[in-house]
Amino acid sequence: MEFTYYMPVRVIFGKGVVTKSAAEFKRLGSRALVVTGRNSADVNGSMADTAKALEECGISYKRYGEIKPNPDVENVRDAAARARSIGADFIIGIGGGSPLDAAKAVAILAANDIDDETLFSGTYTSRPLPVAAIPTTAGTGSEVTPYSILTRRSIRNKKSIGSPLIFPVMALIDPAYTYTLGINSTINTAIDALSHAVESCLSVRSTPAIKPAAYESMRLIAGTFNTLRRHELPSSSERESLMYASMLAGTCIAQAGTTVVHAIGYPLTYYRNVDHGRANGLVMHGFLKFLERRSTGVQELLEIMGMGSTDEFGTAMNDLLGARETLSEDEIKLFTDTVLTSKNVANTLPQPSRQDIEEIIRFSFPG
């Protein structure tokens, strides 16, 4: 056995952890930029809790509340300019994947005056500012990963920054922040987390050390499917399981990365505005069928999820996601070309050919 495992994030999990963590924030500095979306951090109470903790320990802060869904480079540059103007010495990201990923890029750009090419290179002259991550959805896992996925208009796609320098130093995870999520967001984010757990096991970078967390994550998420397939909101204990499962799956992709499932999802989000988790869910059945024809290992994952076959998995996704988007012939060709430029394709074991990718897309979006 031979592997590397690196997980430097201090994780503090439980109800009310943010208001109890004033001393933890104090370790990071005396001036913070709080990076959020437009209003969910107000609705779920996370912003008020953070403000209370910061005020309690005398940290001055400003809020940048303009992070868009699937933020682009311009959006994070705008936030980084705010961080510089207030002399922030750390960044707090609050929200789903978009604000958390944005916070990491802001941390890089606040410390480095660099062009886009260097931003995506993962190598920086100055160390990015420390980031504290407060997730408010149970899906992204971004609070424990070294990735920031941004929309990059120059390549008409989403693109990932990967660097151990952007692991958050601290993740404050309170499942209660997900209580106000509606059913569609709950389903989409749960499927995103499930795809992280599944893909991390099917990556060329997968290691034995991530399997216990990935399997537990899959088991917990699939355990909520009875509720979610009826389109009922999860109970508070199911919410807690989903939040924990999402964090576990995040630790797995932190080691192994994602695969062609995410690579196919990115153009669906860029061109068709399909939600990230939903996009992964629409593609995963076809991906598992592709793998089933070429390798073993899929059956074991299905069993962990309590499913007997890839088609049973597909039925579950259909129940969760409803009617699928349809794609034109031109879109299928464009998306296939775009997917081939994504680096997570090379992460997939076995690596799919152009024809395989086109087949997975056609299977996932029947005309």
Q: What residues make contact with Fe ion under the rule CB under 5 A?
A: 192
Angle in degrees, CA 229, 230, 232, rounded to 5? 110
Q: How far is the CB of 40 from Fe ion (least distance, A)?
A: 18
Q: Torsion angle of alpha carbons 286, 290, 292, 295, nearest 10°?
A: -150
Closer CB to Fe ion, 111 or 220, in the complex: 220
Question: Residues 24-45, buried b or exposed e (16+ Cβ, 10 A)?
Answer: bbeebbebbbbbbbeebbeebb
- Distance in Å, CB of 157 to Fe ion, minimum: 15
| CB of 140 vs Fe ion, minimal distance in Å | 6
- Residue nearer to Fe ion on the CB measure, 61 or 270: 270
Smaller CB distance to Fe ion: residue 53 or 173?
A: 173
CA–CA distance, 143 with 250 (Å, rounded to integer): 8
The burial of 23, by beta-carbon neighbours within 10 Å (0-12 exposed, 13-18 middle, 19 or more buried), is given as exposed
Shortest Å distance, C-beta 196 to Fe ion: 6
DSSP state of 351: P
Comparison of 65 and 95: residue with beta carbon closer to Fe ion: 95
Instruction: Tell me the residue nearest to Fe ion as measured from the CB.
Output: 192
* 184-203: b (≥16 Cβ within 10 Å) or e: ebbbbbbbbbbbbbbbbbbb
Could you give the maximum distance between any two Cα atoms of the chain, in Å? 59
Between 239 and 278, CB nearer to Fe ion: 278
* Least distance in angstroms from the C-beta of 284 to Fe ion: 11
